[in-house]
C-alpha cells in the first residue's frame, strides 16, 4: 500500500494542479461508461501491483487541472474477500485519490448503497454519482437528490446518464469543488447498535496510540473492521496483543449480550441505515412497487396455476418445433438424398469406384446414416431457439421455480428439477448437474429420474413419426412424449421417495427471479448456434461410426444365410438376423418388425442413431417420392433445385408459423378458424420425405406411438449410462437400466393394447 499524506495537507489543494479521482462502484453499475465518457481515448490499462486485477487509468482536463481518473474494480463491498475488493479498498485508504466518486445504479439504489456506506465509513472526500438516471425515470422511480445529499451530511449527489453524457458537467463541478477545497466536516455516520458503539469507544484509545495504524487507517473504521473479523486487518493487529485481546473480548461480549455475531450486527445496522436513508428519498408512483413482472408472477408462479402455465408453454414450444420446422426438414432431406447423393455417386464414378462396396458404404452407410440425422438440424434449431427465448425472457427461471416446488411436494429436493431441465437438452450434463444436490440419496433419485426427460436427440424421432402419421398435429405427439416423460418421472419419484427412501429432510432454497424482458435475438442465436454445433459434432463422430458399423452388419450375411458381402438382402444380413431374435419381445407393443428392434439396439449407442438406422434399413427398400426420383442431374440443375426448394421451404415455414395461432385457438370448443395457405396444398403434399413414406409402410399409427414411447423411456444412450455409472456406481446404473427397460415395455404395451381395445388400431 502506498502511503501519501495528500488528504491531510490542505496546502496541496491550492498549489497542486494534478489530481487523482477514483471511480468506485458495483459491477455493472455503469461506472465504466462514465469512465469512458470522461476520459475518451486517453486511457491506460495495466495491472495493479502484485495482482492479476486490471488497472484502468484515464486522463482529462478540468478547469486547468490535469486529472487522473482511476477506474477501481467493480465490487459489492470492501470486505477484503476478493482481490478486487482488496485492490479497491487499499487504493481508497492510500489517500492517493483526492476524491472518490462512488457510482450507484439509480434503478437499484438500495443494492448499490452498501458499498457507498463502506466508503463513507473511511472518511474520504466523496461524491455519489447516480448512474442510469434515465432507466430509473422510465420505471417512474423518483429520487430526491437534495434530500439524499442532506441526509448524507452534504455529500454531493449527481444524477447521471453515462451514454448520453448527462450530468457530467455537474459531476465535474462537484469534483472541482472537492479537489480545490479542503475536506469539510465528515459526512453522515452509520449509527451502529449501542453495544457495538461501546466496543468501538473502548478500542479507539488502543488504536490511536499506535501511530503506525492511525497513519494508515481511520481509527473508527479500523475498530469496526476488527470487530467485523476482517482477516487481513486482524493479522496486522496481531502485532498489538493488547488491541487484539480487546477486540476478542469485545466480540465475545457483543455475542453474549445480543446473541448475534458482531459482523452481522454491524452489517444489519448498515442495511437499516440504507433503508432509513431512502425512506422519503426514493418514491415510486402508487402501485409501482408492484412491477409488471410481479403481476405476471402472480399467475406464472402461482402454486396452483404455475404448473398448467408451464405445460401450456411447453405445448406451444413443441407446436412451433414440430410443425414449423417440417418444411426445412424436408428441404434438407431432399438435398441430402438428391444432389449430395448424386454428387457422391458422380465423384466415385469419376474415380472409378462406382458400383462397388465403397459406393454402398458412402451412400447407403455414411450419407444415408449421417444425413438421416442432419435432416433434423432445423427441428433442433427451432427447439434451441425456443429454449433460448425462454431463458432470455426470464420464463425459464419461473419454470424451474414452479417445478421445484412441485418436486418438493413429491418428496424430492426442490433443486431436483434443475438437472431434469438440463435433461431436456442432453441427459449427460443432466447427470452431472445432480452434483448441485449435496445429499447422495437426492442425487441418486434425481439421476434416476433425469433419464426420463426427453433429450434433444430423441426429438427428431418424434418429429419424423409425428409428421409421417399425424401431419399438422405432430406437435401434439411431441408434447405428449415430453409430458409422458415427466409423468413417468413423477410416478417413479413417488415410488422412490415414499417406498425406497423415506423420511429424508428437504432443505429450502431461495431463487432470485429476474424481471421479464423481450428476448434479444443475439442472446438467443448464440446458445442456439453452440448447441447445434455440439449436435453436429456428435453427428460427425458417434453417428458416423455407428452408421458405418450398421452398414457393415447389413453388408455381412448371417451364418447360413444366402448371399455374399455387400450382396445380401437386409433380412438375411447379420443385422437382420440379430434384430429378428429380439423382435418378438415387442409384439405386444405392436412393433415386432425386425427393423424397429434393430433401431432400438443402435439407439443405445446414441438416440440419433435410431433415425439413421431406420433410414439405412427402410430407404434401401422403399421407392423414393416423386420429387426425389426426379432429382436433376446437372450441377446447375442441382443448384437450382436446392435454391428453389429452399425458397419453397421458407414460404411453408412462414405459413406454419402463422398457422400456430388458428391451431391453438381451434382447441377451444366451437372455434374453427381455417389455416392460411401460402402454397397450394398439392405441392405441400408432394413434399413428404422418403423416410416418412417408408415408416408408414412399416408401422400403424398406434404402433408408431408405442414405438415412440418405448424410445422415450427405455435405457438412455451409452454416454449417459457411462455418466450414471461414474456418478452413482454400477449397481444403481443396472437398477436404472432394468427399471427403464421394464417401464418402457410396460407403458408401450399398455398404450398399444389399450388403443386396440378402444378401436384406435
Q: Which residues inside 266-285 make contact with another protein, applying CB under 8 A?
A: 267-268, 271-272, 274-275, 278
Please report how close the Cβ of residue 435 comes to another protein at its closest, in angstroms: 5
Q: How far is the CB of 616 from another protein (least distance, A)?
A: 23
**Among positions 254, 370, 383, 422, the unique one binding another protein when judged by CB under 8 A:** 422
Instruction: Assign residue 515 a region (left: φ > 0; alpha: ψ between -120 and 50; beta: otherwise).
Output: beta
The verdict on 421 binding another protein (CB under 8 A) reads yes
- Residue 55 main-chain phi, psi, to 5 deg: -110, 120
- Per rule CB under 8 A, is residue 255 in the interface with another protein? no
Q: Which DSSP symbol is given to 376?
A: T
Cβ 720 to another protein shortest distance, Å: 8
d(CA 130, CA 242): 43
| Inter-CA distances, 643 with 72, 335, 336, 639, Å | 55, 10, 14, 6
CA distance 503 to 497: 8
Interaction mask 663-702, another protein, x per CB under 8 A: ----------------------------------------
Report if residue 428 touches another protein, rule: CB under 8 A: yes
- d(CA 167, CA 150) in angstroms, rounded, equals 19
Q: Which of 411, 527, 662, 675 binds another protein (CB under 8 A)?
A: 527
The DSSP bridge partners found for residue 20 are 68
Write out the binding residues for another protein, residues 697-736 only, by CB under 8 A.
719, 722-723, 726
Is the CB of 284 or the CB of 580 nearer to another protein?
284
Cell triple for 59: 486522463
Among 407, 373, 752, 408, CA closest to 599: 373
In which order are the strands placed within the sheet that holds 54-62?
Answer: 43-47, 54-62, 65-71, 18-25, 99-105, 126-131, 157-159
In terms of CB distance, is 196 or 743 closer to another protein? 196
293 vs 569 by CB, closer to another protein = 293
Burial track 176-202 (b if 16+ CB lie within 10 A, e otherwise): bebbeeebeeebeebebbebbeebbee
Examine residue 521 and tell whether it contacts another protein (CB under 8 A).
no
Give the number of other CB atoms < 10 A from CB of residue 675: 14
In the list 79, 118, 131, 251, the residue contacting another protein (rule: CB under 8 A) is 79
Report if residue 531 touches another protein, rule: CB under 8 A.
Answer: yes
Nearer to another protein, 7 or 458 (CB): 458
Mapping DSSP onto H, E and C, the string for 35-53 reads HHHHHCCCEEEEECCCCCC
Beta 126-131 vs 157-159: how paired, if at all?
A: parallel
We find the least distance from the C-beta atom of residue 364 to another protein, in angstroms, to be 25
The contact pattern for another protein, residues 350-389, with x = CB under 8 A and - = no contact, is -------------------------------------x--
User: Exactly one of 351, 499, 510, 668 binds another protein (CB under 8 A); which one?
Assistant: 510
Exactly one of 19, 76, 116, 575 binds another protein (CB under 8 A); which one? 76
Residues 442-461 that bind another protein (CB under 8 A): 456
Question: Measured from the CB atom, is 170 or 396 closer to another protein?
Answer: 396
Q: Which stretch binds another protein (CB under 8 A): 159-167, 429-437, 549-557, 708-716?
A: 429-437
Rank residues 62 and 399 by Cβ distance to another protein and give the closer one: 399
CB 298 to another protein: min, Å: 10
Q: At 58, which helix (H) or strand (E)? A: strand 54-62
The CB-of-195 to another protein minimum distance in angstroms stands at 9
User: Among 582, 604, 606, which Cα is nearest to 595's?
Assistant: 582
Binding to another protein (CB under 8 A): which residues in 89-108?
Answer: 108
Q: Is 512 left (phi over 0), alpha (psi -120 to 50) or beta?
A: beta
Told to check if 436 binds another protein by CB under 8 A, we report yes
> Are the C-beta atoms of 453 and 423 separated by less than 8 Å?
yes
What are the phi and psi torsion angles at 361 (to 5°)?
Answer: -60, -45
Q: Which of 19, 35, 48, 114 binds another protein (CB under 8 A)?
A: 114
Does 40 engage in binding with another protein (CB under 8 A)? Answer: no
Amino acid at each position: 500500500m502506498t502511503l501519501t499524506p495528500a488528504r491531510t495537507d490542505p496546502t496541496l489543494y491550492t498549489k497542486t494542479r494534478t489530481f487523482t479521482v477514483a471511480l468506485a462502484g458495483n459491477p455493472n453499475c455503469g461506472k465504466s461508461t462514465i469512465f469512458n465518457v470522461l476520459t475518451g481515448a486517453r486511457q491506460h490499462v495495466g495491472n495493479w501491483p502484485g495482482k492479476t486485477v486490471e488497472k484502468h487509468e484515464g486522463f482529462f482536463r478540468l478547469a486547468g487541472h490535469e486529472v487522473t481518473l482511476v477506474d477501481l474494480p467493480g465490487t459489492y463491498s470492501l470486505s477484503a474477500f476478493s482481490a478486487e475488493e482488496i485492490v479497491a479498498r487499499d487504493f481508497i485508504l492510500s489517500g492517493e485519490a483526492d476524491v472518490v466518486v462512488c457510482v450507484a445504479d439509480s434503478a437499484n439504489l438500495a443494492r448499490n448503497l452498501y458499498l457507498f456506506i463502506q466508503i463513507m465509513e473511511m472518511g474520504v472526500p466523496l461524491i455519489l454519482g447516480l448512474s442510469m438516471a434515465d432507466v430509473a425515470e422510465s420505471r417512474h422511480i423518483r429520487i430526491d437528490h437534495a434530500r439524499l445529499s442532506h441526509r448524507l451530511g452534504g455529500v454531493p449527489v449527481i444524477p447521471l446518464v453515462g451514454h448520453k453524457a448527462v450530468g457530467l458537467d455537474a459531476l465535474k463541478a462537484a469534483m472541482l469543488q472537492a479537489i480545490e477545497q479542503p475536506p469539510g466536516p465528515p459526512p453522515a455516520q452509520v449509527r451502529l447498535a449501542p453495544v457495538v458503539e461501546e466496543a468501538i469507544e473502548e478500542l479507539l484509545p488502543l488504536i490511536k496510540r499506535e501511530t503506525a495504524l492511525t497513519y494508515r487507517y481511520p481509527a473508527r473504521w479500523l475498530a469496526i473492521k476488527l470487530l467485523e473479523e476482517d482477516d487481513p486487518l486482524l493479522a496486522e493487529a496481531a502485532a498489538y496483543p493488547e488491541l487484539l485481546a480487546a477486540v476478542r473480548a469485545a466480540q465475545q461480549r457483543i455475542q453474549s449480550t445480543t446473541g448475534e455475531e458482531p459482523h452481522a450486527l454491524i452489517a444489519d445496522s448498515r442495511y437499516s441505515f440504507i433503508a432509513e436513508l431512502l425512506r422519503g428519498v426514493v418514491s415510486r408512483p402508487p402501485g409501482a412497487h408492484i412491477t409488471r413482472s410481479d403481476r405476471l408472477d402472480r399467475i406464472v408462479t402461482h402454486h396452483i396455476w404455475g404448473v398448467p402455465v408451464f405445460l401450456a408453454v411447453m405445448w406451444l414450444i413443441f407446436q412451433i418445433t414440430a410443425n414449423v420446422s417440417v418444411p426445412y426438414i424436408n428441404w434438407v432431406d431432399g438435398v441430402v438424398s438428391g444432389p449430395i447423393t448424386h454428387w457422391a455417386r458422380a465423384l466415385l464414378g469419376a474415380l472409378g469406384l462406382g458400383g462397388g462396396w465403397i459406393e454402398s458404404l458412402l451412400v447407403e452407410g455414411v450419407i444415408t446414416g449421417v444425413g438421416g440425422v442432419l435432416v433434423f438440424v432445423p427441428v433442433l434449431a427451432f427447439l434451441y431457439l425456443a429454449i433460448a427465448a425462454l431463458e432470455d425472457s426470464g420464463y425459464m427461471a419461473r419454470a424451474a421455480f414452479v417445478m421445484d416446488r412441485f418436486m418438493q411436494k413429491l418428496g424430492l429436493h426442490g433443486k431436483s428439477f434443475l438437472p431434469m431441465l438440463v435433461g431436456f437438452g442432453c441427459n449427460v450434463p443432466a447427470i452431472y448437474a445432480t452434483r448441485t444436490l449435496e445429499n447422495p440419496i437426492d442425487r441418486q433419485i434425481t439421476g434416476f429420474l433425469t433419464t426420463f426427460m426427453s433429450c434433444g436427440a430423441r426429438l427428431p424421432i418424434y418429429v419424423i413419426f409425428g409428421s409421417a402419421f399425424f401431419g399438422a398435429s405432430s406437435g401434439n405427439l411431441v408434447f405428449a412424449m415430453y409430458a409422458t416423460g415427466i409423468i413417468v418421472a413423477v410416478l417413479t419419484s413417488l415410488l422412490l421417495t415414499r417406498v425406497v427412501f423415506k423420511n429424508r429432510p428437504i432443505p429450502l432454497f431461495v431463487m432470485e427471479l429476474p424481471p421479464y424482458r423481450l428476448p434479444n435475438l443475439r442472446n438467443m442465436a448464440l446458445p442456439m448456434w453452440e448447441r447445434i454445433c455440439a449436435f453436429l459434432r456428435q453427428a460427425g463422430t458417434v453417428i458416423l461410426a455407428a452408421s458405418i458399423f450398421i452398414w457393415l452388419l447389413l453388408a455381412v450375411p448371417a451364418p447360413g444365410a444366402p448371399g455374399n458381402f455387400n450382396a445380401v438382402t437386409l433380412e438375411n444380413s447379420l443385422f437382420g438376423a440379430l434384430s429378428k431374435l429380439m423382435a418378438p419381445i415387442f409384439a405386444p407393443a405392436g412393433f415386432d418388425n425386425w427393423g424397429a428392434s434393430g433401431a432400438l439396439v443402435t439407439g443405445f449407442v446414441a438416440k440419433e442413431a435410431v433415425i439413421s438406422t431406420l433410414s439405412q434399413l427402410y430407404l434401401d427398400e422403399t421407392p423414393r417420392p416423386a420429387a426425389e426420383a426426379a432429382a436433376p442431374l446437372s450441377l446447375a440443375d442441382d443448384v437450382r433445385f436446392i435454391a428453389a426448394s429452399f425458397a419453397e421451404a421458407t414460404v411453408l415455414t412462414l405459413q406454419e408459423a402463422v398457422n400456430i395461432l388458428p391451431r391453438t385457438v381451434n382447441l377451444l370448443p366451437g372455434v374453427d378458424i381455417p389455416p392460411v395457405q401460402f402454397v397450394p396444398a398439392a405441392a405441400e403434399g408432394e413434399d413428404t420425405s422418403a423416410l416418412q413414406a417408408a415408416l408408414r409402410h412399416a408401422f400403424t399409427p398406434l404402433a408408431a406411438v408405442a414405438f415412440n414411447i418405448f424410445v422415450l423411456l427405455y435405457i438412455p444412450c451409452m454416454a449417459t449410462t457411462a455418466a450414471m455409472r461414474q456418478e452413482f456406481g454400477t449397481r444403481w446404473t443396472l437398477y436404472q437400466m432394468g427399471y427403464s427397460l421394464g417401464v418402457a415395455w410396460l407403458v408401450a404395451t399398455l398404450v398399444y393394447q389399450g388403443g386396440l381395445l378402444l378401436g384406435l388400431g
